[in-house]
Amino acid sequence: MIDKFKTVIRPDNFKVQPSKALDELLSLEAEYGINTTDVLSETNTSIPERIVELWINTLDTYVLFDGCLTNLNHISK
């Protein structure tokens, strides 16, 4: 699938992604003290809606560029 996107997406994006998206996701997890999977599954969080939307869009980018989900969700409860 990623090879298909390489024909549509500028090649220089593959030099910064998925690491840039990973950094942003880890930063969000640390700032709000919650794992990405919890943000996706919980509808009642105190996180502003615009941040949740940013979080989801960043995760979409991370996955699109073959980011490994095991690098996320390391916040202990």
Does pLDDT of 73 surpass 80?
Answer: yes
Q: Considering the domain boundaries, does residue 23 fall inside one?
A: yes
Q: Considering the domain boundaries, does residue 3 fall inside one?
A: no
pLDDT on residue 53: 94
pLDDT on residue 48: 94
Q: Whole-prediction pTM value?
A: 0.79
Does pLDDT of 51 surpass 90?
Answer: yes
Q: Considering the domain boundaries, does residue 45 fall inside one?
A: yes
Average pLDDT over the chain, rounded to an integer: 86
- Residue 46 lies in domain: 14-71
Q: Cβ distance 2 to 14 under 8 Å?
A: no
Read off the pLDDT band of 45 (50, 70, 90). confident
Q: Considering the domain boundaries, does residue 26 fall inside one?
A: yes
